[in-house]
Amino acid sequence: MDISIEGISKTFGETTALESVDLSVPSGRLATLLGASGCGKTTLLRIVAGFETADTGAIRFGERDIAKVPVWKRRIGFVFQSYALWPHMTVAENVAYGLRLRKLSKEAVADKVAAGLAMVGLTGRERHRPGQLSGGQQQRVALARALALEPDVLLMDEPLSNLDARLRVEMRREIRRIQQETGITAVYVTHDQDEALEISDLVAVMNGGRVEQIGAPEDVYERPGTTFVASFVGSVTLLRGQVTDDGELALPSGGKVGFGRPLGQAGAAVHVALRPEDLRIVENGQAQFTGKVVRSSFQGSSRESVAELPGGELLSFEHRRPLPTGATVGLAADRFTVIGQDTGVA
Ligand SMILES: Nc1ncnc2c1ncn2[C@@H]1O[C@H](COP(=O)(O)OP(=O)(O)OP(=O)(O)O)[C@@H](O)[C@H]1O
């Protein structure tokens, strides 16, 4: 069932939480709403669920306009950050609860509960209470409960925020597996860019109540359309400057850098976004940038260092061998993105 969100706006008193948001999620895909605290992602999810009403705009599930449809008739499954399980019920009772309300036969309920728990890897835990399970297991129960009712749409609000880092990685892969196996259309709220890049078909990067960019994870990472998106998704250096007559970048500090092709129209104010992994240490003659290493951090599989250019700009780059602070390095960019739209940095 595809989801179509058109022109959704919402204010709370003086606060504009959402401003004319459009988003389409094709059937069977997982879209994440990614952004910093307060950007409006939870509000948007709650509007899709029906917990909140929009001031303007339309939401459709397939052909069905759901603006006036109450939550319980929207055929959604919702997974909360806090799990929201009933502590006095067993795991099986939690998953069965909604099914019982639907007046299914005892056998049908038992079958669906068993299938749901098998899907999330909790067979054998039927009689446990939520308090006897780990956070990750509790979230699996919540997921099984949401999916047991065979909703058209699965909505998840920061479902992994209460888990430790390792479990978060494991659980996000589980969520993606289950979403793909069931083929359900899903919207997932997170502030964690790694999570969004790993599990999504589509990432909607939000900033100040607006969607700044929607695209496949690779698009958003490799071709950010605004300075905010470039800086929020992944590590980046943004070099601000003006395009010279010969298509190079004139830095405010007076330096000039060529990138092998014209950066745009002469005189245009642009940012050039450089990912650390796209910069390479080169011999002096081939360097686009020459700078002094001001810090270096070991990150296991690689190192990330920062070079200060003569005009004071700081450039992050990835490399393998240790580099002493103070060393002079020549760098060249294998890839870069020219960004015309300055929406600030995250
Ligand atoms: N019920 C409410 N009453 C008043 N203001 C609200 C309400 N809900 C949200 N807001 C405001 O709307 C804006 C967007 O909030 P929202 O919770 O959607 O952001 P968010 O991106 O999900 O942030 P977080 O990750 O912190 O939950 C914020 O400024 C918030 O303070």
Return the ligand 1 atom nearest residue 206 CA.
Answer: 21
Please report, for the chain, the start and end positions of each structural domain, with discontinuous segments joined by +. 3-227, 235-339
Q: Return the best residue to mutate from 15, 51, 211 for the ligand 1 pocket (most ligand atoms within 8 A of CB).
A: 15
Nearest to residue 61, comparing CAs of 166, 152, 190, 160? 152
Which atom of ligand 1 lies closest to the CA of 36?
21
| Ligand 1 center–CA 38 separation, angstroms | 5
Task: Read off the pTM.
Answer: 0.92
The whole-number pLDDT of residue 346 equals 85
pLDDT at 162: 87
Query: Which positions of the chain have pLDDT values less than 50?
Result: none
Quote the pLDDT of residue 285: 86
Write down the pLDDT at residue 219: 96
Cβ-defined contacts of 258-263 (< 8 Å, 24+):
258/288, 259/288, 259/333, 259/336, 263/338
Q: Any residues with Cβ below 6 Å from ligand 1, and which?
A: 12, 15, 17, 35, 37-43, 191
Ligand 1 atom at minimal distance to the Cα of residue 191? 25
Task: Identify the pLDDT of residue 103.
Answer: 85
User: Which pLDDT score is estimated for 300?
Assistant: 87
Candidates 2.40.50.140, 2.60.40.10, 3.10.350.10, 3.90.1150.10; CATH matching 235-339: 2.40.50.140
Which tokens go with 70? 């109450």
Q: For residues 100 and 104, give the distance between their C-alpha atoms in angstroms, rounded to a whole number.
A: 6
CA-nearest residue for atom 28, ligand 1, is 38
ipTM, two decimals? 0.94
CA of 70 to the centre of ligand 1 (A): 22
Q: What is the DSSP string of 111-179?
A: HHHHHHHHHTT-TT-TT--GGGS-HHHHHHHHHHHHHHT--SEEEEESTTTTS-HHHHHHHHHHHHHHH
pLDDT at 40: 96
* Fold entry, domain 3-227: Rossmann fold (3.40.50)
